[in-house]
Amino acid sequence: MQVECKFFATIKMELGRGSFCLETQGEFLTVLELLKILDQKFPNSILKNLVHDEGHIHIIPGAIILLNGKNILLMEKLHTHVHHGDELVLFPPVGGG
């Protein structure tokens, strides 16, 4: 399976790249499983901070994760299935006014 991962803002700056083509085994993964694989590919990066575990795993406030242009919060959140050819877009929380 191949998934195009796109990074923006501080994620892009920290990783030094705007995208990464992730190749993995299987027909599909969940967004959470994909984030864990990305965390292994880019250890000690900001990617680790996109999800938080306080008894249950959730996306940290302000972070945006899109799958094929649709916010995963409107789907099955971190349990949304990712298939071959999908595009995952990651935005870290941003502030400003």
In a domain, 31, yes or no: yes
Is there a domain that residue 10 lies in? yes
Euclidean distance between CA atoms 61 and 2, whole angstroms: 28
Residue 96 lies inside a defined structural domain of this protein:
no
Residue 56 has pLDDT above 80, yes or no: no
Q: What percent of the chain has pLDDT over 70?
A: 95
How does pLDDT run across 22-33, given as a tens digit for each residue?
998 888 899 999
pLDDT, tens digit (0-9, with 9 covering 90-100), for 36-46 = 999 899 998 88
Whole-prediction pTM: 0.90
Tell me what percent of the residues of the chain surpass a pLDDT of 90: 66
Cβ–Cβ < 8 Å for 21, 4: yes
**Could you tell me which of 88, 35, 40, 41 has the C-alpha nearest to residue 57?**
35
Say if 58 falls within a structural domain: yes
Q: Is position 7 within any domain?
A: yes
Domain for residue 23, yes or no? yes
* Alpha-helical runs (H) found in the chain: 9-15, 31-41
Q: Average per-residue pLDDT in the chain?
A: 90
* Residue 45, domain CATH: 3.10.20.30
Residue 55 has a pLDDT of 65
97 domain-assigned: no
Tokens of 81: 């299935």
Evaluated on CA atoms 27, 4, 63, 35, the torsion sign reads: positive
Total tally of structural domains belonging to the chain: 1
Provide the domain limits for residue 9.
Answer: 2-91
